[in-house]
Amino acid sequence: MRIAFIGDIVGKPGRKIIEQNLQRLRDEHKIDFVIANGENASHGFGLTVKNANELFKVGIDVITGGNHSFDKKQDMFALLEGSNVLRPDNYPPGLVGEGIKTFEVNGEKLTIINLMGTYCMPFCENPFNWATRLVEDLEEKGIKNIFIDFHAEATSEKRVMMKMFEGRVSGICGTHTHVGTDDLQIANGTTYLSDIGLTGCRDNVIGMDKKVPIMKATTGLGGHFDIPKTCKSILQILVMDYEDGKSVDAFKIKFLSHKNEIIITKAMIE
């Protein structure tokens, strides 16, 4: 089973580079299933029904979320009730939707778990204790292929999640910061990457136009973040091969649109 994970999709530039390149990359690398974090896919904040359907049509199988999942509440309520859209499972109980779902891929079961960290994040349940219950339940059910999108600010939280479930889940990849990290590895059959980085504009500030972030940094006055009308965009994909619940190979693809260039980084095997 070969699955792929796309980092935080930021606005129209992120959706556009996926639309233009994902199916080709799926075919070229023989990818069976694609997960993408889409909490910033609609003008940088939240996800609309229209944009979700666009992403499903161009090759994404399931969309995960994070702290911006409910920025467009009515759209998200509709998506969580009827689409392959997840939100962090450790949001407080009683909220619509869920953050765990099992799929059939090439005759095997694959479970996707979406969790959110605690540092600088909205109120949520303890993700580590929550994950423990989820993984133990999946182990009892005999489900071996498990991927976790851990949406968190702190790399330390992401690393703790890795050390807790190393050898027990197939893959853990961090999202949220929009900045890719250089620690792709496979340890005891678990692929790990602290943060995959964004898919969208790479030459501004976390996919947003630089003007307001610079103003806030220099004067303390904020404003509405906008998506640049033109930019150099990037598509970042983590590709993982699972066999009997273990990652046996992994690599990251970075596609730079303005250069039409692909950079591939192989995972370190511990």
Q: Is the predicted pLDDT of residue 245 greater than 90, yes or no?
A: yes
239 Cβ partners below 8 Å, 6+ apart?
A: 2, 3, 4, 29, 31, 250, 251, 252, 253
Strand pairing class (108-116; 100-105): antiparallel
Residue 222's pLDDT is what?
84
Per the annotation, the verdict on 224 as an active-site residue is no
Distance CA 264, CA 25 (A): 12
Average pLDDT of 28-49? 97
The pTM is what?
0.96
What are the angstrom distances between the C-alpha of 155 and each of 32, 150, 174, 220? 29, 10, 8, 26
Residue 188's pLDDT is what?
97
Average pLDDT of 173-200? 98
In the chain, where are the structural domains located? Answer: 2-201+227-269
Distance CA 23, CA 79 (A): 23
CA atoms within 13 A on the CB side of 2: 15
Average pLDDT of 157-184? 98
Angle at 151 between CA 179 and CA 233, to 5 degrees: 35
- Residue 109 · residue 99 · CB < 8 Å: no
Residue 231's pLDDT is what?
94
Q: Which residues pair with 238 in a beta bridge?
A: 5, 252
171 Cβ partners below 8 Å, 6+ apart?
A: 3, 5, 146, 147, 148, 190, 191, 192, 238, 240, 242, 247, 250
pLDDT tens figures, 112-162: 999 999 999 999 999 999 999 999 999 999 999 999 999 999 999 999 999
Q: Is the predicted pLDDT of residue 19 greater than 90, yes or no?
A: yes
Tell me the longest C-alpha to C-alpha distance in the chain.
56
Distance CA 229, CA 168 (A): 43
Q: Is the predicted pLDDT of residue 97 greater than 90, yes or no?
A: yes
Residue whose C-alpha is closest to residue 163's, from 128, 200, 197: 128
Q: Is the predicted pLDDT of residue 91 greater than 90, yes or no?
A: yes
Of the candidates 29, 43, 68, 176, the residue annotated as catalytic is 68
- SS3 (DSSP) at 244: coil
Q: In which band, very low, low, confident or very high, does the pLDDT at 250 lie, cut at 50, 70 and 90?
A: very high
Residue whose C-alpha is closest to residue 184's, from 209, 219, 206, 158: 158
Average pLDDT of 79-106? 96
Distance CA 5, CA 46 (A): 19
And the tokens for 25?
Answer: 């990359």
Concatenated DSSP letters of 65-92 = --TTTTTTHHHHHHHHHHSSB---TTSP
Question: What rounded mean pLDDT belongs to the chain?
Answer: 96
CATH architecture type of domain 2-201+227-269: 4-Layer Sandwich (3.60)
